[in-house]
Amino acid sequence: MEEREFLELFRRYLRSRGLYDTRARERIAAALFRLPGHVDAAALGYRLRQEGVPAAPATVYRTLELLVQAGLARKFVWDDRALYEAALGRPHHEHLLCTQCGRIVEFHDAPLEERIAEVYEEQGFRPASHQVLLFGICPRCSAGSSQ
């Protein structure tokens, strides 16, 4: 998916909710789309301000939440910190998080996805979305603590 398609979907979502499509919202959405990884609202706002884009913290946070509601971004919370990533144009994946250094590793595991689908069915739930967050200590931190 290209950035312009992502932004057009966001514009449509905003209009469908009677919300304004502002330049600030578009710049925030575009910045998130271009990021290869995960970011919190404060870091994204800082990055935008470094690029000369006036981005009030509340605007950044609210726009990220709108992107999540629109299905264009994913959010996960770790250690009282909300992290966001663009969802469209990227395959579904899960996350490993290092509890020492904060490193995030994305992974996809087909048998795990199949098992999650089975659990939905077994419990009579209609799937909406899911996220798996696995916490541990990454190899780098493990090596450092064994010295």
Q: Is the CB of residue 64 less than 8 Å from the CB of residue 75?
A: yes
For the domain made up of 3-86, the CATH class stated in words is mainly alpha
Chain segment 104-133, per-residue pLDDT in tens: 898 989 999 999 999 999 999 999 888 888
Chain segment 49-89, per-residue pLDDT in tens: 998 888 899 999 999 999 999 999 999 887 788 999 998 76
Q: Is the CB of residue 58 less than 8 Å from the CB of residue 103?
A: no
3-state secondary structure labels for all residues of 39-52: ECHHHHHHHHHHCC
| Section 9-16 average pLDDT | 97
Residues of the chain with CATH 1.10.10.10: 3-86
Query: How far, in Å, CA of 145 to CA of 147, rounded?
Result: 6
For the domain made up of 94-145, the CATH class stated in words is alpha beta
Mean pLDDT of the chain: 90
Contacts of 91 (CB under 8 A, 6+ apart): 108
pLDDT at 131: 83
Q: Is the CB of residue 13 less than 8 Å from the CB of residue 72?
A: yes
